[in-house]
Chains A and B, each alone.
Chain A
Amino acid sequence: MELAQLVDFEVQLHRDEASVRAGGEPDLRARDARIGAQITAEFGSTATEAAAQVHADREFRARVATAWLRQMEAEDRSGRDHTARALRRAALILTLALLVVGALTARGALAYDGKEPVNVFVFLGLLVVPQIALLVLLAWATLRGGRGMLGGAITALSQVRLLGGSSTATLGAVGARLSLHAGVERWFTFALAQRAAVAFNVGALATCLALVSLTDLAFCWSTTLQLAAEHVHTACRGIAAPWSWFAPDAVPSASLVRDSQWVRMPGSFVAGGSLPDAVATSGRWWSFLVIALATWGLLPRGLALGLAAWQSRRAQRAVPFDDPRCHALFARLWPATPSWQGPSPSTISLPESERAKAHANSTPPAAVASGATWLLCWGHLARAREGLAQRVTRATGAPPLGVLAVGGANLADDDDAVRRLANAKADRVLLALAAGSQPTKDVLDLLRVLRQRLGPRARLSVALATDDATTQLANEELAGWRACLDRQADPYLALERLEAHA
């Protein structure tokens, strides 16, 4: 994507962001989903492939951004001049202007009224030396890196208060965002300058050739400084060094330099000589000047233009298109299709048949049978042991033979309770748990140990205790307990009901 397109891209992203803030996201989503479908059709891929590739492939992101911008511009009926078009026009105008300036400069440098020959110093000073200096300066500025000129100019423009509020905001945001594309921007500016310079040189060169061909020019060298012809000759040889090996005739000879020095007073060549000599002498400079302009003006600019084009393409290829705004756009183009993936239920759970069996037994538990019993209070019920003992007394007609705490933080309490029950040869034990407690292996372990220590005929029962009479136990809660106790295959292990109001 070229710089001009990047500017348009950034402007459009900024507008979209403003639209999202104003609540227009659904419209943007619909628009971009449509464009996304057009792009996938154009690329011959699917939305899923595009959504995956856009995260992984920078080149693909660049293609998508370009295609999106093209679609946006195709849909834009506002008649607004896009940056790409504007920059192209500006570049053309600049090129043409420099072409004309080059021609006019050459015309000025070669101005000859038949009285005073053209001073080659003026020609070189206007058309060759400044160009070399400018080229060196621009190359230094470009290679130095840093912020490009265009982004800076846009940011500066955004400070102009005469522009509308939204315009300055857009310019400011886009100017700031262009720092992301500093490489592209720098080489674009460099290329633009080189193109203009090439035009300038072409204009100048064409004018030179035209004037040489169509008019009668006479050249000389002249300066107020006390400059010896030998020094001028040395300088000319230096300038002509690049072509002296293949165009020796275009290198001014020492005699030519000596013979073509001009003095204003009295207005003649220093060497004097006849008119034919003067004509021949002054005419021999033109090939040197034309080749000097081509070599030191046009050629470096042409090479610089080639370098700029190459570097510009490299910089364009390096634009990552991976900042959050780009990803927001890609997400709108191809909304990620969410899905959940999990295991097959049968591989992770109890078989359906076993679960069905548990639900089949829905007989409500019997009330706690009469007769003295030991009471074990599981977990937090140990704190309510007195109230629970009263309930058991009411239910069985006799106070508990003993009340012990189990299922607490200290495992030693469980061992202690089992030991006491074994020592007392307990033949009936009621394990009370709070409603909501689950038949964990921890609870079932205790029942198993009790069975081992108290013998196969000791009556063990489990009761779920609610906090008050108004709270009812859910059938499925009881069914879960019953299923777990049934699995113990213990005929003297029962689930009983311990009513709060009993």
Chain B
Amino acid sequence: MSEAQSSPAPATSLVPTFVVVGNVNQGKSSIVATLAEDPGVPIDPMPGTTLKAAEYAFRASGEVVFRVIDTPGFQRARHALAWMQERARTPAERPRAVAEFVRAHAHDAAFVDEIRLLQPILQGGSHIYVVDASAHFEPSSEAEMEILRWTGQPGMALLNRTRERDFSAEWRPVLAQFFHVVREFNAHRATFHDRVELLRAFRAVRDEWRAPMDRALTVMAAEWESRGQRAAAAISDLAIRALTHVERRELRDGDDKDATRKALDQTFGDALRGFEKSTRTEIERLYGHPQIDRQEDGLTLLDADLLSDESFRAFGLTRGQLAKHGLLWGGAAGLALDLMVGGLSGFAGMAIGAGLGAVTGFIGTTQLTRVWSESSKLSKLLFPGVTGRFLALGPITNPNFAWVLLDRALLHARVVRDRSHARQDALDLREKAGVAATLPSNLRADLDAALRAAVSDALQGTPKTATHARLTQAIARALAG
């Protein structure tokens, strides 16, 4: 007696296993890449790129919770079905016919793809049938669905579109005949929310897999929230580091002060760009895009000079918003001025700064900071015990810059967060506008206050965990919005 005859009931894998199947080049690997957050999954418009079934296991603390198996596409579905039809006279014989087909053609090069995709299904997996809705429904597709039905295993259908053409309306009534769950899923545009919705749909495939899938969803949600927090903390670090950064050059007798100033400008800008770049890298790594291409023209804007006028126009707040927040930032800037002049201003700098802040905010000045030297109080605070002449630049006293920096980081984090792992193009932010100006006013106010508090603490040499946490929370809210 054959194995199939001795086990007529379809097997069920203990670990939820979803076998992604369909015709060649329907976007199966893209869906797997998106679900597995793995930009390394081979994806190519060239048909038949995937040669073998590839298992991607989702683990929670080392334990496999569910699996997704990418497969090569159906190549000769009509012929495979015809072979099976000859051997199954009644519906009861169909699953056995599929099993016989797999056994009989285990070493047959003609059906190698069909064998590779059917094997994991017969071992207890459920199929996720992917169709490209930018192509017409073909008789070969019906053969594919018929074979899947004959396996006796439950499954669902995913409508993916790889082109602009849309034949979803043609597909839907057909798919509904074969699958009780039919979903649309654009692998190249899918966000975390879309992935979660898809996994929720997976729960409906088999009742006994609901609990592990629920666990997977819970773990994923917690991890996603944690990533959001870590991304916010990274941006928070960036803001504090950049806004309090000071570059200092020693001045010796005979040194050209202008040349020193120019070099100082250069290193100051390089340092800020370095901070931003390392933060971007960290956030990309957090969201599973470690090798993202940032060298191509997609990153023109974010690679553009952080201090350029272009950045100021594209990011940050509107003039009205800046005038409001600038008033408050003027106080913080004034504090820096007071420190620079050794407190001789009797802290009038703070008051003057407030007025100046509002004005500079409105007119949109691009002056970031002031040059200062060894005679200031800030020098004594930052470099205790160091004497001699020097020229220093920083910290930032321009509220526009603070918001531009924050906005660029928010935009980058949001785009990276929502980027599908099936995408292989460069990260392109050129056409995207900043988000800060569109944030709710209360959130903007919270962000501004938290940023000022954190910067003020850092300027006074007393960075506090609480203010950092407050800024991180405000940024996390801005990221979530």
Residues B17-34 near A (CB distance < 8 A): 23-25
With a cutoff of 8 Å between Cβ atoms, the chain A residues found around residue B40 in the complex are 342, 345
Q: Does B74 contact A (CB under 8 A)?
A: yes
With a cutoff of 8 Å between Cβ atoms, the chain A residues found around residue B167 in the complex are 436
In the complex, identify which listed stretch (A86-94, A154-162, A309-317, A407-415) lies at the interface while the others stay far away: A407-415
Complex CA distance for A331 and B54, rounded to whole angstroms: 30
Give min CB distance, A154 to chain B, whole Å. 31
Q: Does B304 contact A (CB under 8 A)?
A: no
Residue of A nearest to B64 (CB): A341
Give min CB distance, A364 to chain B, whole Å. 16
Complex CA distance for A55 and B219, rounded to whole angstroms: 15
Q: Does A24 contact B (CB under 8 A)?
A: no
Residue of A nearest to B133 (CB): A436
Q: Does B77 contact A (CB under 8 A)?
A: yes
Chain A 31-63: CB-based contact to B (< 8 A → 1; otherwise 0): 000000000000000001001100100000000
Give min CB distance, B104 to chain A, whole Å. 18
Interface band, chain B: 35 or more
Residues A111-157 near B (CB distance < 8 A): none
Chain B 132-160: CB-based contact to A (< 8 A → 1; otherwise 0): 10111111101100000000000000000
Complex CA distance for A484 and B55, rounded to whole angstroms: 27
Complex CA distance for A355 and B45, rounded to whole angstroms: 9
Residues A373-389 near B (CB distance < 8 A): 379-380
| Pairwise interchain contact A484-B61, C-beta atoms closer than 8 A | no
With a cutoff of 8 Å between Cβ atoms, the chain A residues found around residue B61 in the complex are 48, 51-52, 334, 336-337
Most buried by B among A340, A467, A479: A340
| Pairwise interchain contact B218-A442, C-beta atoms closer than 8 A | no
With a cutoff of 8 Å between Cβ atoms, the chain A residues found around residue B70 in the complex are 348
Residues B51-82 near A (CB distance < 8 A): 51-63, 70, 73-79, 82
| Pairwise interchain contact A437-B62, C-beta atoms closer than 8 A | no
Q: Does A359 contact B (CB under 8 A)?
A: yes
Residue of B nearest to A471 (CB): B165
Q: Does B44 contact A (CB under 8 A)?
A: yes
Give min CB distance, B312 to chain A, whole Å. 35
Q: Does A248 contact B (CB under 8 A)?
A: no
| Pairwise interchain contact B222-A29, C-beta atoms closer than 8 A | yes
| Pairwise interchain contact A442-B76, C-beta atoms closer than 8 A | yes
With a cutoff of 8 Å between Cβ atoms, the chain B residues found around residue A331 in the complex are 218-219, 222
Q: Does A347 contact B (CB under 8 A)?
A: yes
Residue of B nearest to A30 (CB): B229
| Pairwise interchain contact B138-A437, C-beta atoms closer than 8 A | yes
Q: Which of A340, A350, A379, A471 contacts B140 (CB 8 A)?
A: A379
| Pairwise interchain contact A26-B225, C-beta atoms closer than 8 A | yes
Q: Does B320 contact A (CB under 8 A)?
A: no
| Pairwise interchain contact B136-A434, C-beta atoms closer than 8 A | yes
Given known pairs A350-B49, A480-B45, the reply for A440 and B223 (CB within 8 Å) is: no
Q: Does A476 contact B (CB under 8 A)?
A: yes
Residues B198-224 near A (CB distance < 8 A): 216, 218-220, 222-223
With a cutoff of 8 Å between Cβ atoms, the chain B residues found around residue A359 in the complex are 46
Q: Does B50 contact A (CB under 8 A)?
A: yes
Q: Does B38 contact A (CB under 8 A)?
A: yes
Q: Which of B38, B45, B46, B75 contacts A340 (CB 8 A)?
A: B38
Q: Does B226 contact A (CB under 8 A)?
A: yes
Q: Does A438 contact B (CB under 8 A)?
A: yes
Q: Does B193 contact A (CB under 8 A)?
A: no
Most buried by B among A338, A347, A480, A484: A338
With a cutoff of 8 Å between Cβ atoms, the chain A residues found around residue B42 in the complex are 345, 348-350
Q: Does A399 contact B (CB under 8 A)?
A: no
With a cutoff of 8 Å between Cβ atoms, the chain B residues found around residue A334 in the complex are 61
| Pairwise interchain contact B45-A476, C-beta atoms closer than 8 A | yes
Q: Does B47 contact A (CB under 8 A)?
A: yes
Complex CA distance for A408 and B220, rounded to whole angstroms: 44
| Pairwise interchain contact B79-A442, C-beta atoms closer than 8 A | yes
Given known pairs A342-B56, A441-B75, the reply for A480 and B25 (CB within 8 Å) is: yes
Q: Which of B59, B75, B220 contacts A440 (CB 8 A)?
A: B75
Q: Which of A336, A348, A474, A479 contacts B46 (CB 8 A)?
A: A479
| Pairwise interchain contact B79-A411, C-beta atoms closer than 8 A | yes
- Interface CB pairs A-B, < 8 A, 14: A335-B226, A336-B223, A338-B216, A340-B36, A348-B53, A407-B78, A409-B142, A411-B78, A411-B82, A438-B47, A440-B47, A440-B74, A441-B76, A484-B47
Chain B residues engaging chain A, CB cutoff 8 angstroms = 23-25, 36-38, 40-42, 44-63, 70, 73-79, 82, 110, 113, 132, 134-140, 142-143, 163, 165, 167, 216, 218-220, 222-223, 225-226
Contacts A340-B37, A342-B40, A467-B165 known; 12 new A-B pairs at CB < 8 A: A29-B222, A337-B60, A337-B223, A340-B58, A350-B44, A350-B51, A379-B140, A380-B139, A409-B143, A438-B25, A442-B77, A484-B47
